[in-house]
């Protein structure tokens, strides 16, 4: 399981205050051949009776130093 970003709890708490229910921490996506992909949070909230449930997956990143990825 991947390490949590330094802002993980801050983002999670802000989402809860905004009405989101955290359903997964982390949210695992099962891929083919037994591989797993982990997203930081899975969340849902009821947005309106006509619309039903809104679900999202949230990836949290802090950029505390220059990236090793070059464009």
What is the tens place of the pLDDT at every residue in 40-69? 888 888 766 555 778 888 888 877 777 665
pLDDT class of 9 with cuts at 50, 70, 90: very high
- Among 48, 56, 49, 60, smallest CA distance to 21 is for 56
Q: What is residue 17's predicted lDDT score, i.e. its pLDDT?
A: 92
**Encoding tokens for residue 20?**
């989101």
For the question of whether the overall pTM of this predicted structure is more than 0.75, the answer is no
How far separated are the first and last CA of the chain, in Å rounded?
A: 28
């Amino acid at each position: 399981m991947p390490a949590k970003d330094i802002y993980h709890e801050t983002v999670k708490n802000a989402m809860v205050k905004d009405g989101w229910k955290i359903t997964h921490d982390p949210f695992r996506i099962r891929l083919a051949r037994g591989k797993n992909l982990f997203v930081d949070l899975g969340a849902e909230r009821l947005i309106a009776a006509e619309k039903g449930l809104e679900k999202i997956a949230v990836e949290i990143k802090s950029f505390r130093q220059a990236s090793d990825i070059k464009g």
